């Protein structure tokens, strides 16, 4: 059934409290039906009059991270009774799951780490991912264009079955939505709109740093009140801006070209090669498809987008094989075939449009302010290499939901800074570390100079041949370990 309405989408009201809003779970509301619009408006007016009955939490941004956070709240006994608003004009939020298995894979994909997979399992969303296209991979090969170094590892190096899973973003998004809709006990209201302004704290309460509630104004003219505002509104976060939180970082003078490609055989390995202009990654996405994330200068990116399909495929195959430099030597000493260098499978067909994204590194100076907390890209954007971006966000969503549960257990005011600071203390150092590592990698490859190349290659060789180090790096990259290099 279609739950989109003109003003708002109302999902479920199996509430333990009095149903405050006028629409029930089973109401089927057509977007164009005037009678139901009236109904909605009445419900909305009632809500406005109840300005002293605020939401516990308003999640601004129903992207993958905001939705994962809402799901996490709906899945825990202590938090599932919270009254939550989700604000996002993204139409995907009101949609039925209409992804077809035989659609070609979308070029926007995420590499989900084992840590994020167990989070999805905990909140009950992974089962929906499994109903769609997804590609587990158990091998990873990273090498560089100088031919001096490579590293290749398998899941068994760290005694697991998989190193990660590549999933289309739209699948993650719709799985989280299905999961949220299944938890009918959870009181949530979706506002299909955008945040325009925000006021925190009420002036009537002197000398109280934690006083008041936040008032949110939306682009459709609606307003709502919440005790806590969760900014999950992406890299250009409006919440962050309105809360006056500054960021540090820079735009890489780089773009990423992404697309779906087809092979003659199925790919089970995640491949990444560092080229002079930036890395190219070839990620399995199921059937005979792979996803390409190729970092390069803006000029090269627009060339790549403009060139003919054949030329582009040639360029990709070139970049993943002999282009820019020789194959690394496969040292077979001590390692079985599983660890020797291989050529990635040939790309035979372009299966989607080519999309270009600018890259940036941005880190919020604070993750929290009075009654405001940032998660996901709103708090940090990192270089897409190693596919950590959204995984850091899932880590944020998981940590924040647990801290909120701890707060509920002791009757805390959820917008209280001291509670939110615990989240910041848990996430900020870890995310900064990952951002610095990815940025360092990026920087190391932006220099093409003999001695630097050899150093880089040496680092690869060390990483490849020193087993504990190698295990450590994999554990860190797969999210099983919070800190790198702690043996």
Query: Helices 389-409 and 64-75 sit at what angle, rounded to 10 degrees?
Result: 30
- The DSSP letter of residue 91 is G
208 binds another protein (CB under 8 A): yes
Q: Kindly state whether residue 18 participates in binding another protein, applying the rule CB under 8 A.
A: no
Task: Give the residue, chosen from 157, 366, 377, 426, that forms a contact with ligand FAD under the rule CB under 6 A.
Answer: 377
β partners of residue 251: 360
Alpha-carbon span 463 to 473, nearest angstrom: 8
Q: How far is the CB of 412 from another protein (least distance, A)?
A: 6
DSSP of 24-81: -TT----TT-HHHHHHHHHHHHHHHHTTTS-EEEEEE--SHHHHHHHHHHHHSTTTTT
Q: Which of ligand FAD, another protein, none does residue 195 bind (CB under 5 to 8 Å by kind)?
A: ligand FAD
**Dist CA 126 CA 143 (whole Å):** 32
Q: Side-chain half-sphere of 375: how many Cα atoms within 13 Å?
A: 31
DSSP-assigned states of every residue in 376-441: GGGTEE--SGGG-HHHHHHHHHHHHHHHHHHHHHTT--TT-HHHHHHHHHHHHHHHHHHHHHHHHH
Query: What does 377 interact with, of another protein, ligand FAD, none (CB < 5 to 8 A by kind)?
Result: ligand FAD
* Residue 114 vs 387, nearer CB to ligand FAD: 387
Cβ contacts of residue 121 below 8 Å, gap of 6+? none
Among positive and negative, which fits the CA dihedral 458, 462, 463, 469?
A: negative
Interface residue with ligand FAD, options 357, 405, 412, 465 (CB under 6 A):
357
| Residue 169, helix vs strand vs coil | helix
Which DSSP symbol is given to 186? S
Decide if residue 282 touches ligand FAD (CB under 6 A). Answer: no
Residues contacting another protein: total by CB under 8 A? 35
Query: Under rule CB under 8 A, which residues in 37-66 are in contact with another protein?
Result: 52-54
Tell whether residue 390 is a contact of ligand FAD (CB under 6 A): yes
- Contact positions with ligand FAD (CB under 6 A) in 85-104: 87-88, 90
- Closer CB to another protein, 207 or 336, in the complex: 207
Give the nearer residue to another protein in terms of CB position, either 98 or 204: 204
Residue 459 binds what, of ligand FAD, another protein, none (CB under 5 to 8 Å, by partner type)? none
When CB distances are held under 5 to 8 angstroms depending on the partner's kind, the choice from another protein, ligand FAD, none that residue 389 binds is ligand FAD
Minimal distance in Å, beta carbon 182 to ligand FAD? Answer: 20
Positions touching another protein (CB under 8 A) are 52-54, 76-79, 81-82, 202, 204-213, 227, 402, 405-413, 416-419
Summarize as ranges the residues that interact with ligand FAD (CB under 6 A). 60-66, 87-88, 90, 110-111, 194-195, 232-234, 238, 256, 258, 293, 357, 376-377, 384, 387-391, 393
């Amino acid at each position: 059934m279609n739950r989109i309405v003109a003003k708002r989408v109302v999902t479920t009201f199996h509430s333990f409290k009095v149903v405050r809003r006028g629409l029930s779970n089973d109401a089927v509301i057509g977007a164009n039906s005037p009678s139901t619009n009236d109904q909605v408006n009445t419900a909305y007016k009632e809500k406005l009059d109840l300005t002293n009955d605020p939401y516990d939490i308003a999640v601004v941004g129903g992207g993958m991270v905001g939705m994962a956070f809402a799901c996490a709240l709906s899945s825990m006994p202590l938090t599932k009774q919270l009254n939550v608003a989700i604000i996002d004009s993204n139409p995907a939020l009101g949609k039925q799951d209409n992804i077809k298995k035989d659609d070609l894979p979308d070029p926007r994909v995420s590499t989900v780490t084992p840590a994020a997979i167990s989070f999805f399992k905990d909140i009950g969303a992974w089962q929906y991912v499994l109903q769609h296209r997804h590609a587990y991979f158990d091998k990873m090969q990273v090498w560089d264009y100088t031919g001096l170094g490579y590293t290749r590892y398998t899941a068994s190096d760290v005694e697991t079955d998989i190193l990660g899973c590549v999933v289309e973003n739209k699948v993650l998004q719709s799985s989280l939505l299905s999961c949220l809709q299944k938890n009918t006990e959870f009181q949530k209201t979706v506002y299909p709109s955008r945040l325009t302004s925000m006021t925190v704290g009420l002036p009537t309460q002197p000398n109280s740093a934690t006083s008041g509630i936040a008032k949110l104004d939306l682009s459709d003219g609606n307003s709502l009140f919440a005790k806590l505002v969760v900014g999950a509104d992406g890299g250009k976060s409006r919440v962050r801006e309105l809360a006056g939180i500054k960021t540090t970082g820079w735009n890489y003078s780089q773009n990423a070209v992404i697309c779906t490609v087809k092979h003659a055989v199925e790919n089970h390995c995640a491949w990444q090669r560092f080229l002079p202009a930036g890395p190219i990654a070839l990620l399995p996405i199921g059937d005979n498809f792979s996803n390409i994330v190729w970092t390069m200068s803006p000029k090269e990116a627009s060339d790549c987008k403009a060139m003919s399909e054949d030329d582009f495929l040639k360029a990709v195959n070139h970049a993943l094989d002999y282009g820019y430099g020789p194959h690394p030597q496969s040292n077979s000493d001590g390692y079985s075939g599983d660890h020797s260098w291989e050529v990635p499978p040939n790309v035979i067909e372009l299966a989607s449009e080519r999309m270009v994204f600018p890259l940036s590194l941005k880190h919020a100076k604070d993750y929290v302010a009075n009654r405001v907390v940032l998660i996901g890209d709103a708090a940090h954007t990192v270089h897409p290499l190693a596919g950590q971006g959204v995984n850091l966000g899932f880590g944020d969503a998981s940590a924040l939901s647990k801290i909120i549960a701890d707060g509920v257990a002791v009757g805390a005011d959820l917008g209280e800074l001291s509670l939110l600071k615990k989240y910041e203390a848990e996430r900020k150092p870890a995310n900064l570390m990952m951002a610095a590592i990815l940025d360092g990698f990026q920087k190391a490859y932006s220099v093409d100079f003999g001695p630097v190349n050899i150093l880089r290659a040496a680092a690869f060789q060390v990483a490849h041949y020193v087993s504990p180090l190698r295990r450590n790096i994999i554990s860190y990259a797969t999210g099983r370990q919070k800190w790198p290099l702690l043996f």
